[in-house]
Structure 1
Amino acid sequence: MHVSRRLIGALAAAGALMAIPLVVWANVGAEAATDTLLSQGRPATASSVESEELSAGNAVDGDGRTRWGSEEGVDPQWIAVDLGAVHPVTRVRLRWETAYGKAYEIQTSPDGENWKTIYGTTSGDGGTDDLTRLSGEGRFVRMYGSARGTKWGYSIFDFEVYGTGPTAGDPPSARKPGRASQAPLVIGSDVPRPSRSAATTRTATPTGSGAGTGLADPAKKDIAMQLVSSAENSSLDWKAQYKYIEDIGDGRGYTAGIIGFCSGTGDMLDLVEAYTQRVPGNPLAPFLPALRKVNGSASHAGLDGFPAAWAKAAADPQFTKAQDDERDRVYFNPAVAQAKADGVGALGQFAYYDAMVMHGPGPDADSFGGIRKAAMAKAKPPAQGGSESAYLTAFLDARAAAMRTEAAHSDTSRVDTAQRQFLQQGNLDLHTPLTWKVYGESYRIG
């Protein structure tokens, strides 16, 4: 996501900105020295869950006491994790609960749909399977179980994927904070919202009536879009931004559209490619070779006339729909899925979405995954028996700390005088009316 145009102007004036299926049977042994844990805190999905308390996210939360459990007595079953970008995968570690997989495969995929097997066994015996010297790459990695080792289902305490940085051919956005090209994340009953039991306490009292339906409610989703637009565009009219395009001087080339797709960070390229698949002769299609060349830089080389072509394309409903779809695929759906798995309501889902929009969904300390990890080190989310308000306080603290590490994000008012204000009011479900301030300007919905 681009930084607010209003904030960019202020920082630039102050001089604060700087340009910015072959089956491979693997060996089991010690971890390679260069392996990096890629999966912790990342969005996870599964073919089924035994109960709401055994969601897929439990296997990648870094807590060895929590687990994913599938429906009992049914084959096949799977659990998948989204690494946020295509990575070489060199090691997978599975720590099974009693219900283990006797026959299973480790598979990778660039898009969550087309899978390649990089490890397989028909003689699993449970315990811990530490699979090293794997040879594969993908953005998505899954355990695909075809035969259970017990009469129950499949259950995993820890599903750890290790590897190295994104592949050289990936958009540079996947290698730096703030952006990452995304493939579809399947959202469904496999990522349930945990129930509000006695162990998942709301210490704040929600305003309005009812517990709300979260951002799955179209009206609440529209509120989320308006809140983001107030920070990014100094306007609540987010639908007016489909045609927006300019270079705001943040080192990311052109910034455009409803979510600030950038020519230098991969997501604009993804958008134009997706649009061109739908409408091959669109005004932006001729610029695809240039977009591929400038990706990862602030360059406009080969993009003469591109802003005019963008404005022309914005009049096409297919292009506005493509923007909506890419926003949901890259940012909104992964954020809401993870928030539901963590047991938070509409405010928490929005806080996740806004963080993913600004910082990107990667695992780095100043990306969404790192922010969430820092929050979980301070407070348990409701899905783990914690207080929703205490956990969200920790998340917003971690978010503000990450923002202050980068000059372009150092004004934390979109957190402190908006999201934190709603939290202090106990408005965990984003009931209207809402009033807040961003960068000194006041806004109201309802």
Structure 2
Amino acid sequence: MGDSEPPVLVPQPAGPTGTGSARPEAAVQADEAAERTDALPPGLAAPELKEIASRLVSSADASTLDWRSQYAAIEDLGDGNGYTAGIVGFCSGTNDMLQLVEAYTEKHPDNPLAPYLPALRTVDGTDSHEGLDPGFTAAWREAAEDRAFRTAQDETRDRLYFEPAVRLAKLDGLGTLGQFIYYDAMVLHGPGIEANGFYGIRDAAMASADTAAEGGDETAYLGTFLDEGRSAIRARTVQRDTTRIDTAQRVFLRDGNLELSTPLRWQVYGETFRIP
């Protein structure tokens, strides 16, 4: 169906070399500047704006604003990442699902997913279901009924994606919209340093435009970042729809809504969404 094809879930394609290995230099720099950036206005981390961010991501990942309905979602999209599940598309092949289940099991050893930890470690970095079928999907849905597992998904999302993205965006001098653009790209592309990973996309954007912190124009830099992100999406062999940029983030940017103020109206896969 071409560019109008809506995925049910969007995987986080970082791979074990993304979420599970040495951290990119930019992430280390952002952590070192944490005291300074955390002292800035909360921006996207403000509760009401974080809720908006979650709805925006969910509209693109699952065609719904009800992001909490995705805790139990799980399927194999046939994209080489194994099972994709949960609120930001944790994948059995990209290390973040393993980190999530390990963290959950450490606090709650007697859970439906704990028996699958050996298999998750074995298939990490592959699309294999070995040791997971036939019961893993049912176990995931059962675990999602547990508030502690939903909390574990929230915490893993924040640790791997939300907090690093917002912190780095602040370091780059970006307002709330820029913080969201970074977060969405971190979720979609994964925190990898390769050309199609978040840090690779940021490097390419910074090679063409200065960030606001470097004295550049914020709108111009964000436009360049979106261009690079769009190119990374189009270079894929599956899930090549770019409407989350073309008819959502680009619209906010064109409107000059750098603080992501409501009301918001955007389209994904031809469907219109609104936040009053």
Interval of TM-score (by shorter of Structure 1 and Structure 2): 0.7 to 0.9
**Structure-2 residue corresponding to 1:325:** 155
Change (3 A) 1:414 1:423: same
In the alignment, is residue 265 of structure 1 matched against residue 111 of structure 2?
A: no
3-state SS of paired residue (1:44): helix
Could you tell me which of 371, 374, 398 is aligned with 2:201?
A: 371
Rounded Cα–Cα distance in structure 1 between residues aligned with 2:162 and 2:143: 23
- Determine helix, strand or coil for the equivalent of 2:6: helix
Amino acid at match of 1:261: F
CA 1:46–1:284 in 2, change beyond 3 Å: closer, same or farther?
closer
1:408 aligns with 2:254: no
Does the Cα contact within 8 Å between 2:7 and 2:61 map onto a contact in 1?
no
Q: Is the 8 A contact 2:177 2:260 kept in 1?
A: yes
Q: 2:246 aligned with 1:433, yes or no?
A: no
| Residues 344 and 294 of structure 1: CA distance in aligned 2, closer, same or farther (over 3 Å) | same
Note the alpha carbon deviations across 1:328-348, whole angstroms, 9 max, x for none: 011111100100000101110
**Cα deviation code 1:147-199 (max 9, x no counterpart):** xxxxxxxxxxxxxxxxxxxxxxxxxxxxxxxxxxxxxxxxx4243578xxxxx
Gaps of 5+ in 1: 10-19, 21-37, 48-55, 57-187, 195-211
Whether the 8 Å CA contact 1:255–1:263 is kept in 2: the answer is yes
- Partners of 2:82 and 2:24 lie apart in 1 by 30
1:341 to 171, 179, 182: 171
What residue in structure 1 maps to residue 6 of structure 2? Answer: 7
Q: Please tell me whether the aligned partners of residues 252 and 258 of structure 2 are also in contact (alpha carbons under 8 angstroms).
A: yes
Partners of 2:137 and 2:197 lie apart in 1 by 29
1:389 to 199, 207, 219: 219
| Rounded Cα–Cα distance in structure 2 between residues aligned with 1:418 and 1:437 | 6
**Deviation of the 1:279 alpha carbon:** 0.3
- State the partner residue of 2:108: 279
SS in 2 for 1:191: helix
8 Å Cα contact 1:248-1:254 kept in structure 2: yes
For residues 213 and 269 of structure 1, do their structure 2 counterparts lie closer, same or farther at Cα, with a shift above 3 Å needed? closer
Letter in 2 for 1:321: T
Q: Distance in 1 between matches of 2:151 and 2:218?
A: 34
Corresponding position: 1:189 with 2:35: yes
Distance in 1, Cα, partners of 2:227 & 2:153: 31
2:29 is the counterpart of 1:44: yes
Equivalent of residue 136 in structure 2, options 279, 293, 306: 306
TM-score, reference length from structure 1: 0.55
Q: 1:111-126 to 2 correspondence within 5 Å?
A: none
Question: Counterparts of 1:202-221 in structure 2 under 5 Å?
Answer: 213-221=42-50
* Alpha-carbon distance between aligned partners in 2 of 1:324 and 1:403, rounded to the nearest angstrom: 25
Deviations 1:24-59 (A, max 9, x none): xxxxxxxxxxxxxx8554442466xxxxxxxx4xxx
Partner in structure 1 of residue 55 of structure 2: 226
Output one character per residue of 1:116-143: Cα deviation in whole Å (capped at 9) or x when no partner: xxxxxxxxxxxxxxxxxxxxxxxxxxxx
The CA distance in 2 between the partners of 1:5 and 1:337, in whole Å, is 33
Q: Indicate if the aligned counterparts of 2:24 and 2:199 stay in contact, CA closer than 8 A.
A: no
**Matched letter for residue 29 of structure 2:** A
- Dislocated runs of 4+, deviation >6 Å: none
Using CA pairs under 8 Å that are at least 6 residues apart, name the structure with larger relative contact order, 1 or 2: 2
Q: Which amino acid aligns with 2:86?
A: G
Letter of the 2:37 partner, please give it: V
8 A contact 1:5–1:233 mirrored in 2:
no
| Greater Cα radius of gyration, structure 1 or 2 | 1
Distance 1:438 1:215, change over 3 A: same
Superposition CA RMSD, Å:
2.2
* Equivalent-residue separation in structure 2 for 1:40 and 1:221 (angstroms): 26
Map of 1:243 onto structure 2: 72
Aligned residues of 1:418 and 1:438 also touching (Cα < 8 A): yes
**For the residues of structure 2 that align with 1:45 and 1:259, how far apart are their CA atoms?**
22
CA contact (8 A) 2:43 2:176 kept: yes
For the structure 1 residues 351 and 306, does the alpha-carbon distance in structure 2 shift closer, same or farther, using more than 3 Å as the test? Answer: same
Shift of 1:8: 4.5
Matches for 1:39-78 after TM superposition, within 5 Å: 39-45=24-30, 56=33
Amino acid at match of 2:66: D
Q: Classify 1:292/1:443 alpha carbon distance in 2 versus 1 (closer, same or farther; 3 Å).
A: same
Once residues 256 and 46 of structure 1 are traced to their aligned partners in structure 2, the CA distance between those partners, rounded to angstroms, is 28
Structure 1 distance, partners of 2:181, 2:232, is: 14
Provide the secondary structure at the position in 2 that maps to 1:362: coil
* Aligned CA distance change for structure 1 residues 6 and 277 (closer, same or farther; 3 Å): farther
* 8 Å contact kept, 2:30–2:168: no
In the TM superposition, what is the alpha-carbon distance from 1:7 to its structure 2 partner? Answer: 3.3
Provide Cα deviations, 1:5-35, integer angstroms capped at 9, x if missing partner. Answer: 95358xxxxxxxxxx9xxxxxxxxxxxxxxx
Distance 1:332-1:378 versus aligned 2 partners, 3 A rule: same
Which amino acid letter does the alignment assign opposite residue 141 of structure 2?
A
Identity rate, percent: 57
Q: Could you tell me which of 254, 259, 264 is aligned with 1:424?
A: 254
Count of aligned pairs between the two proteins: 260
